[in-house]
Structure 1
Amino acid sequence: MKRTRRLLLAMAASCAWLCYSPSAMAQGEDCSTATAITSLPATVFGNTSSANDDYNEVCPYTDTGGLDQVWSYSPVANETLDLSLCGPATDYDTKLYVYENVCGSSPIGCNDDNCSNLNTDFISEIFGLSVTAGNTYYIVVDGYDASSNGNYQLDITAAAPPSLGATCANPIVVSTFPFSTSNSTCGSINDYGTQCSTSYGGGEDLVFELQMPAGNFDIDLTATNGGSYIGWFLKDAADCAVGSSCLANATSSFGTDANGSYTFAAGTYYLIIDTWPSPACSDFDLTIQAGAPPPLGATCAAPIVVNTFPFSTSSSTCGSGNDYGTQCSGSYGGGEDLVFELQMPAGNFNIDLTATNGGSWIGWFLKDAADCAVASSCLANAT
């Protein structure tokens, strides 16, 4: 079932852009006769009432039979496009999709409903479509179903490039440490949602690419506009945009500071600054500098080495930091953790662990050498 998404005020189309009228140009019936758009921005008009049903895509509705017309665009440089049928001339329930070079292949962009105007609901638009020089893109203006056809207005603009730090594809690169900056997430848009299995991530976000040397570094973040609920979320190079993937994170609730540390191997990492759903954005100070070596056992990189057995010790997880989350697909892992490296002989060994401060809810989690930091990987565990 379709639902109205939002209502836009209709405004007259501006012919300060490149404009085509239906009387001046014939629209393409299919991709072989597509009408070329040669420059941007462009506003083009058409009517599908006498067209054929040549194509259909699902995004997400499966209804078919809409009548369609095709435009083409061949960029001379790599661009990001915004395409909209939401202008005041559109008067029916539309569908909009784009093919790269071959019509009928998987579309690189597809939208059924994203806006309304004074004539009708359920109008289509596509934002942030990446196109590459040397290719031809076929833009299909279609109807939702067999009864959906009529007049349309298609506006195509080259989207402004994202501001530095707005996305993982365009981060603020940091390669010299110590590093300190005053900045803001305001204006960077909420590109990434909930981070690191926390409730944070509903605000606008700013992305740093950290080209790190090896070592332990402190990451200190302070909200500076009188707010709180700010946090940082550290990702490896492959997982910048993966909300659930985190190497470490720190958040502030009722205070203004989100501080923590991480022991880095030399390489590239991403640091996302984000807020809880409120405030929507925040000014901040960020400092990244070499910290004291982590206490022995605090991380997989600096474990307590045990190579003689039997082995017995009295110790504590307190002060070691919560470097690793939920372990072995269980519910344990939210507290501070201590890491031992066991250089084991062959044989069957008992592992006995006792909480000694009157509490409970403690557990041990055995990993092989390659998977110390992989939360879901366990050879055995007991809680």
Structure 2
Amino acid sequence: MKKLSLVIIVVGLVVALASLSFSAISKDVLSSKKPVTQKDLKEAALIAEKMEQYKAEQAKMAAEEARALDRDILTAKGSRAVTTGMAPSVIARFGDVEVEEYVKEKKPSVNIAPPPDPNVILQGGDDCATATPIPSLPYYDTGTTCGFTDDYDEECPSSSTSPDVVYSYTPEVDTCIEISLCNENTDYDTKLFVYENECVSPYYACNDDAFDLCPLDNYWSVIADLPVTGGNTYYIVVDGWGGGCGNYDLSVIGVECYVPQPGDNCDLPLTVSLPGDLPYLDAGQTTCGRVNDYDETCLGSYDGGEDIIYEVTVTSDVTVDVSVTSDASWVGLAIDEECPPGFSDEICIATSSSSSGNQTITGIALTTGTYYIMVDTWPSPNCIESFDLSITESSPAPANDDCEDAEAITGPYPATGTGTTIGATVDCPGVLDWNGVWYTIDLPYECNDITIEMCGESVELNTVGIVLMDDCLCDDYISASSYAFDPDQCPTGYGATMEWWGISGPGIIYWPAYIADINDAGIDFSYIVDVTECGVCDVTCPDGGIPENEPPCGDEYVDNYNGGCNSTPPVFQPINPGDIMCAESGTYLFEGSNYRDTDWFEWVNTDGTMELTWRAVAEFPLATFIIDGTNGCDNLVILTSGTGNPCDTVEISAIVGPGTY
């Protein structure tokens, strides 16, 4: 096995030295990292796609994140173990809820079709003009979509390029039907949608993945309790996901029509009057049977299940806490002034969602008017069998609830203190969206390293904020350089430690402190803040070093130089074994959001299998990767990665064959 050596030095703004030594499979890449989601098995990034955990077809739910610019995201969580992370995020969380197996305790389908009669297999028509008519119910048929044309497509929640076939049904009277592909001869990832009278958008009904409604396979489709009007013609389109096709087993049966119940939708909500109904409790409620009316709201992935709507009329100003308590998982809670919440702009007054069945929004200041609360899930589960919703008047806000009233933390360090987030109101809507309190930390040095340790006073903490801010404008933030949860840190159990390295001074920095329990409720807490002078870290370019020559990454910078798969089109800087590259990296604002300059280097191996070793050192916390890019940016494979503190040399190795790295 052949060995090659390559050295790279990243120097400059935040100077980094990287040395690549190729051995045997020499494919060098100082790969820039993709956005860090900090999602672990218990839900480490609230916005990372849970569907990827359950389904090998990663692209289905990851489309929003694929090849995104390397932007700091806003949520991150840890697990119930000693966890650490490089943290370009604003929240760290650990939780008790284990990721459940995808098929677990599923409900039986309303209809399991009998085996098809091989002598009566009609096959759906190619399009609506040639749709196979359904003469009467119940109706069963099998067929295939392979070889047919992709005539129709609807987003529910994603679009596809799969071939489709069509059936038509014209009921004689008003009734309800169930259309199901959840039958034993179906063998591919299906999708169902229905048009009324003509095959044009918007669809009349649609389902991609039936989840709980299909015990045979969560990715087969079912449309249950569909009301149809006598004399109208309904076109049933059997489709697929992701371009796939296959055999399908269709059943269409008549079912008893669901009787609408208060809470079903925005037109028939459950009603609450505040402050008159305080404290309000709706106990033993359910979303099951209410169908998924709304899937384009501020809850994102958490609006894919069956939902329930509350209309809240506020007759005089009041500040409240809203909580959902249940034994379910992956529950979402939202409140907004429009129904469904966040429909027009996907932004709500407040939301709470996680892998837990318990969600709490505290300190919601409501003025006179009408508001709407929605409870939903990220399937699976497809619905919440039983939950309690409570609305109570909030505790008084802490004295340092607002940034302008921040409590000062000064030396000598380490400094200790206590605080509370009970009664805290929402901070920095659209940026932080948490109920925290504010502190200023005095910075005595030109370069400051900050460490904050936190404990819950009477209950164990579950979630902490991991950002600092340089002012009260809520337009940017400084993510923690690292964070860790330690089960032995506090008398109450888990504690959290966050670190920020290289914060400029002298002056002050703002700490929006967010600490919550497992139900995302505010708690009393204690802290230890330590500020020390930065260690000297000076990385210089050695003799023979090659300047990177990338332009400075100021605000609104667009990386067309070596942004790799984060650039459009992708662009890489070539590098060869033995090269020493001296380069710069940094952070900058783009359209008001924080981004990192990540540098991607490319080497094409044409010499067979080798061992590639890549070494890097920087004046900042460093993350470096070796990525197999042979199949392009849409099919990257991270072979290995490593992280290090300022001035630590990071060395990683991988065995690589011919290809692009």
Task: Provide the TM-score with structure 2 as the length reference.
Answer: 0.34
Shift of 1:269: 0.9
The one-letter amino acid paired with 1:215 is D
Aligned match of 1:85: 181
Q: CA deviation at 1:234?
A: 2.3
User: In the alignment, is the contact (CA less than 8 A) between 2:399 and 2:405 conserved in 1?
Assistant: no
1:307 — aligned with what?
A: none
Which position in structure 2 is the counterpart of 1:136?
A: 233
User: What is the match of residue 473 of structure 2?
Assistant: 365
Pairwise CA distance, 1:230 = 8.9
Between the two structures, name the one with larger relative contact order (CA 8 Å, sep ≥ 6). 2
1:73 is aligned, of 143, 165, 170, to 170
Q: 1:185 to 1:266 in 2, by over 3 A?
A: same
TM-superposed CA distance for 1:365, in Å, is 2.8
Decide whether the 8 Å contact of 1:216 with 1:261 is kept in 2. Answer: no
C-alpha distance in structure 2 between counterparts of 1:222 and 1:76, whole Å? 41
- Structure-2 change in CA distance of 1:162 and 1:38 (3 Å): farther
Deviations 1:21-52 (A, max 9, x none): 97599986764565554776x32335579x99
Matched, 1:268 2:370: yes
Q: Do the aligned partners of 2:181 and 2:248 also contact (CA within 8 Å) in 1?
A: no
User: Hey, what's the Cα distance between the residues in 1 that align with 2:299 and 2:333?
Assistant: 13
Check the 8 A contact 1:21/1:44 in 2, yes or no. Answer: no
2:311 is equivalent to residue 212 of structure 1: no
Quick one: structure 1 residues 297 and 136, their matched pair in 2 at CA, closer, same or farther if it must change by over 3 Å?
Answer: farther
For the residues of structure 2 that align with 1:253 and 1:228, how far apart are their CA atoms? 5
Q: Distance in 2 between matches of 1:114 and 1:228?
A: 17
Aligned to 1:377: none
Partner residue, 1:173:
271
1:154 and 2:251 correspond: yes
Kept in 2, the 8 Å contact 1:96–1:139? The answer is yes
Counterpart residue type for residue 272 of structure 2: V
Tell me if the contact between 1:175 and 1:210 (Cα under 8 Å) persists in the aligned partners.
yes
Inter-CA distance 326–262: structure 2 relative to 1 (3 Å threshold): closer
More strand by share: 2
Match of 1:316 in 2: 405
Aligned partner of 1:70: which letter? Y
2:13 equivalent to 1:13: no
Tell me the equivalent position of 1:234. Answer: 335
Gaps of 5+ in 2: 1-54, 58-101, 408-420, 444-467, 476-591, 593-661
* Counterpart AA for 1:364: C
SS for the counterpart of 1:365 is coil
8 Å contact 2:426–2:435 — kept in the other structure?
Answer: no
> 8 Å contact 2:266–2:340 — kept in the other structure?
no
Contact 2:340-2:374 within 8 A present in 1 as well: no
What's the counterpart of residue 152 of structure 2? 57
Residue number in structure 1 paired with 2:86? none
Q: Distance in 1 between matches of 2:113 and 2:245?
A: 23
Do 1:109 and 1:129's aligned partners in 2 also have CA atoms closer than 8 Å? Answer: no
CA distance 1:204–1:58, shift in 2 (3 Å): closer
Measured after TM superposition, the shift of residue 270 of structure 1 is 1.5
User: Among 388, 394, 399, which residue is 1:284 paired with?
Assistant: 388
* SS in structure 1 at match of 2:473: strand
RMSD over aligned Cα atoms: 6.5
Q: How far is 1:173 from its partner?
A: 1.8
Alpha-carbon deviation of 1:188?
3.9
**C-alpha distance in 1, partners of 2:377/2:143?**
46
Q: Which amino acid is 2:372 matched to?
A: Y
Using the alignment, how far apart are the partners of 1:237 and 1:317 within structure 2? 33
CA distance, structure 1, for counterparts of residue 440 and residue 238 of structure 2: 70
Correspondence for 1:127 among 204, 220, 223: 223
Q: CA deviation at 1:95?
A: 6.2
Aligned counterpart, 1:98: 194
Q: Equivalent residue of 1:364, what SS?
A: coil
Tell me how far apart the structure 2 counterparts of residues 288 and 269 of structure 1 sit (CA, whole Å). 15
Residue 332 (structure 1) shift = 9.8
- The letter of the residue matching 1:43 is Y
Query: Equivalents in 1 of 2:329, 2:238: separation in Å?
Result: 46
Aligned to 1:374: none
Partner AA of 1:236 in structure 2? E
Counterpart code for 1:286:
S
Q: Counterparts of 2:123 and 2:160 in 1: how far apart (Å)?
A: 29
Deviations 1:170-219 (A, max 9, x none): 532224622422413556489689x9789999998754221222311433
CA contact (8 A) 2:271 2:311 kept: yes
User: CA offsets, 1:79-133, max 9 Å, x none?
Assistant: 6x54212334657887644333223666555667769xxxx99985243586664
User: What is the 5 A alignment of 1:20-35?
Assistant: 31-32=128-129, 34=131
| Partner Cα distance (2:209, 2:242) in 1 | 13
Q: Which residue of 2 aligns with 1:375?
A: none
8 Å contact 1:20–1:43 — kept in the other structure? no
CA shift digits 1:278-318 (9 cap, x unpaired): 997764362446x799899989xxxxxxxxxxxxxx97257
SS in 2 for 1:102: coil
Contact 1:86 1:124 in 2 (8 A): yes
CA pair 169-334 structure 1, distance change in 2 beyond 3 A: same
User: What is the identity percentage for the equivalent residue pairs of Structure 1 and Structure 2?
Assistant: 25
Q: Return the TM-score normalized by structure 1.
A: 0.52
- The residue that corresponds to 1:310 in the other structure is none
Q: 1:70 to 1:293 in 2, by over 3 A?
A: same
* Corresponding residue for residue 343 of structure 1: none
Q: 2:287 touches 2:376 (CA, 8 Å); kept in 1?
A: no
User: What do the CA deviations read for 1:354-381 (whole angstroms, capped 9, x no partner)?
Assistant: x7775884623399xxxxxxxxxxxx9x
CA separation of 1:155 and 1:231: change in aligned 2, threshold 3 A: closer
CA shift in 2, pair 1:35/1:247, >3 Å: same
The 1:71/1:315 distance shift into structure 2, 3 A limit, reads: closer
The SS at the match of 2:182 is coil
**Within 2, Cα distance between the matches of 1:94 and 1:142?**
6
- Cα 1:37–1:286, aligned 2, differ >3 Å: closer, same or farther? same
| Alpha-carbon separation, structure 2, partners of 1:123 and 1:366 | 41
CA distance in 2, matches of 1:107, 1:123: 20
The answer to whether the 8 Å contact 2:424/2:435 transfers is no
SS at match of 2:347: coil
Cα distance between partner residues in 2 of 1:131 and 1:200: 26
Code of the residue aligned with 1:184 in structure 2: it is G
